[in-house]
Amino acid sequence: MVADYVWSFTTIPQTTLSVNPAIGGTVTGAGVFAQGSTVTVAALPSTGYAFTNFTENGNVVSTSSSYQFTMAGNKTLVANFMLIPPAQFAIVLSSLPVAGGTTNGSGAFNAGSTVTVSANPNNGYTFVNWTDNGNVASTSSSYQFVLTANRTLIAHFLAIPASQFALVLNSSPAAGGSTTGSGAYNSGTNVSVTATANPGYSFTSWSGDASGSNNPLTVTMNANKNITANFAPIVVIIPPALGTAALFGAFGGNAGITNQGLNTVINNGSIGTTAAATLITGFHDGTSGDIYTETPLNTGNVTGRIYTAPPAPGTATSFAIAQQGLLDATVAYNSISPASKPGGIDPGAGELGGLTLAPGVYKSAAGTFKITNGNLVLDAKGDPNATWIFQTAAGLTVGIAGPEGARSVSLINGGQAKNVFWYVGSAATINAAGGGIMTGTIISSAGVTFSTAGNAVQTVLNGRAISLVASVTMVNTTINVPSN
């Protein structure tokens, strides 16, 4: 008896491609493929059209004109194109070889707009460069340019030899900047990679298979590495308008100003209070020669003027100037408050010592700021308009006890003291042990104190010490008022 036979058949998955609209462009890569194989399809727009995306069952599966996927069953893909409006230009992107990687950023854009395209290599490949009509346009996988005409860009990829390792560099966000150094390298090669920020961004750090913020960064190739250069938008901070408060190196609210010591000097500025002239002690007016309760041991020179209420040498005119200064200082104080400048961060959990900070708004989460664990460095990154605002709901303390306790706030890479501001909800104590260099305009609600009686070492403020209510006290202090 002849045995029965059962025949089994396996359907080979198929990729079907179509174009929408039909005249919008062409596609390649359709066919029958083994289950689990890697397939790459590509779309090329016709003249006057721009590629938009690939969709499957109405869902977007890729915005890259070169789309790679693993065959897990039949796929029906639609390559969608859009007609380019007359006022726009097209960016056409493709990959060479098609299986080498994907691209992002194609489409239609307004003339003169800034556009960023990016290339991402597939496994086993490394990005080489972008070309336009055969000419190298960029060696960074993230390429930003101003669109003044239609652009047809090819992202070139290189298959990595089995004996080498791949270094893949990315930018996050893609519009943030570019990188150099990607490629295929022999084992043990030291490669220098560089991140370059685009206008409006600053480089912040490396992530992925690298860390830190060294730029350039040396990478030792002992394995395939994928590294991302992280960029952050530069936040433009408008400094507060100080008005007539800018005249003052020190302002003692309605409580006055006291100096102890023989070496105190206010350079390029005045001092004032809305209180009576008798509440200014230990100073003389370097312009008029008027003396405010000086003694043989307590003499301070104000190179500008001293503004107070009567009695003499205070006058009604100087009182009016002091009143306006206090009003303007109060407006400035409110303008740098957390309510007016929200979003401040606290990088050191209230401790600013030992940090190097970029321009920005910084707010103490706990309500107090200290600079005690070391000096604070403010890095302008080459921007002369870089601005820092520090907000503390309560106190500000700079320095610690002891002869080596002074702490300083310094500026690098073009930073200016006139662009540093301290919002202090209560009182500020600046280097009670004497010494150190403080930087910025301090506007406090409840007083500012420099050094301690008996300290001979000079304490310096490059800025202003303004108290809205309580007094300002200083011992052998130099205040250099910045020019606005």
Give the residue from 454, 456, 392 showing the smallest Cα distance to 429. 392
Q: What is the pLDDT of residue 357?
A: 94
- Quickly state the pLDDT bin for 247 (edges 50, 70, 90): very high
Whether 332 maps to a domain, the answer reads yes
- Quickly state the pLDDT bin for 413 (edges 50, 70, 90): very high
The stretch 407-418 carries a mean pLDDT of: 98
Q: Are 135 and 88 in contact (CB under 8 A)?
A: no
pLDDT at residue 261 above 80?
yes
For every residue of the chain, which 3-state class applies, written as one string?
CCCCCCCCCCCCCEEEEEEECCCCEEEECCEECCCCCEEEEEEEECCCEEEEEEEECCEEEECCCEEEEECCCCEEEEEEEEECCCCEEEEEEEEECHHHEEEECCEEEECCCEEEEEEEECCCEEEEEEEECCEEEECCCEEEEECCCCEEEEEEEEECCCCEEEEEEEEECHHHEEEECCEEEECCCEEEEEEEECCCEEEEEEEECCCCCCCCEEEECCCCEEEEEEEEECCCCCCCCCHHHHHEEEEECCCCEEEEEEEEEEECCEEEEEEEHHHEECEEECCCCCEECCECCEEEEECCCEEEECCCCCCHHHHHHHHHHHHHHHHHHHHCCCCCCCCCECCCCCECCCCEECCEEEECCCCCEEECCCCEEEECCCCCCCCEEEEECCCEEECCCCCCCCCCEEEECCCCHHHEEEEECCCEEECCCCCCEEEEEEEECCCEEECCCCCCCCEEEEEEEEECCCCEEEECEEEECCCC
**pLDDT tens-digit readout, 149-158:** 999 999 999 9
Q: What is the pLDDT of residue 87?
A: 87
pLDDT at residue 284 above 90?
yes
C-alpha–C-alpha distance, residues 418 and 100, integer Å:
52
Q: What is the pLDDT of residue 342?
A: 94
pLDDT at residue 388 above 60?
yes
Whether 439 maps to a domain, the answer reads yes
**pLDDT tens-digit readout, 315-343:** 999 999 999 999 999 999 999 999 999 99
Q: What is the pLDDT of residue 484?
A: 78
How many distinct structural domains can be found in the chain?
1
Whether 271 maps to a domain, the answer reads yes
- Quickly state the pLDDT bin for 456 (edges 50, 70, 90): very high
The stretch 15-24 carries a mean pLDDT of: 92
Whether 247 maps to a domain, the answer reads yes
* Structural domain span for residue 385: 243-480
Whether 280 maps to a domain, the answer reads yes
Q: What is the pLDDT of residue 200?
A: 86
Is the pTM higher than 0.75? no
- Quickly state the pLDDT bin for 23 (edges 50, 70, 90): very high
Whether 434 maps to a domain, the answer reads yes
Percent of the chain with pLDDT over 90: 88
pLDDT at residue 1 above 50?
no
Q: What is the pLDDT of residue 10?
A: 58
Whether 102 maps to a domain, the answer reads no
The pLDDT mean for the chain works out to 94
Q: What is the pLDDT of residue 283?
A: 98
Q: What is the pLDDT of residue 15?
A: 85
pLDDT at residue 395 above 80?
yes
Q: Cα–Cα–Cα angle for 401, 279, 257, nearest 5°? A: 35
Q: What is the pLDDT of residue 13?
A: 84
Whether 362 maps to a domain, the answer reads yes
